[in-house]
Amino acid sequence: MLPDWLKVSDEVQAALAAKRPVVALESTLIAHGLPCPVNVETARDSESAIRDAGAVPATIAVLNGVPTVGLSDSEIELLASAHNIRKASRRDLAAAVALKQNAATTVSATMALAHAAGIRVFATGGIGGAHREEEAFDISADLTELAHTPVLVICAGAKSILHLPRTLEILETLSVPVVGYRTDAFPAFYLRAHTPPLPVSARVDSANQAAALFAVHGRMGGGGVVLAQPCPVEVAVPTAEFDRWFAEAEREVHTARVTGSQVTPFLLARLAELSGGRTLAANRALIVANAKLAAEVAVASAGV
Q: What percent of the chain has pLDDT over 90?
A: 89
Mean pLDDT of all residues in 234-250 = 94
The phi, psi pair for 171, rounded to 5°, reads: -60, -40
**Contact criterion met (CB below 8 Å) for 139 and 130:** yes
Sign of the torsion formed by the C-alpha atoms of 204, 124, 297 and 91:
positive
CA distance 20 to 261: 35
Catalytic residue among 47, 159, 292, 296: 159
Three-class DSSP category at 235: coil
Tell me the pLDDT tens digit for each residue of 142-177: 999 999 999 999 999 999 999 999 999 999 999 999
Instruction: Give the architecture (CATH level 2) of 7-301.
Output: 3-Layer(aba) Sandwich (3.40)
State residue 137's pLDDT score: 74
Catalytic: 159?
Answer: yes
Q: Among the options 26, 47, 77, 296, which is catalytic?
A: 26
Separation between Cα atoms, residue 121 and residue 24, nearest integer Å: 6
pLDDT, position 134: 58
C-alpha of 14 from chain center:
24
DSSP state of 115: H
The tens digit of pLDDT for each residue in 29-42 reads 999 989 999 999 99
In this structure, the chain runs to a length of: 304
User: How many CA atoms lie less than 13 Å away from 7 in the CB half-sphere?
Assistant: 15
Q: What is the pLDDT of residues 71-94, one digit of tens each?
A: 999 999 999 999 899 999 999 999
Look at residue 182 and give its three-state secondary structure.
coil
- Rounded CA-CA distance 149/139 in Å is 17
Q: Which residues pair with 104 in a beta bridge?
A: 61, 87
C-alpha span between 116 and 43 (Å, rounded): 22
Question: Position 53: which residue type?
Answer: A
Q: How far apart are CA 243 and CA 249, in angstroms?
A: 10
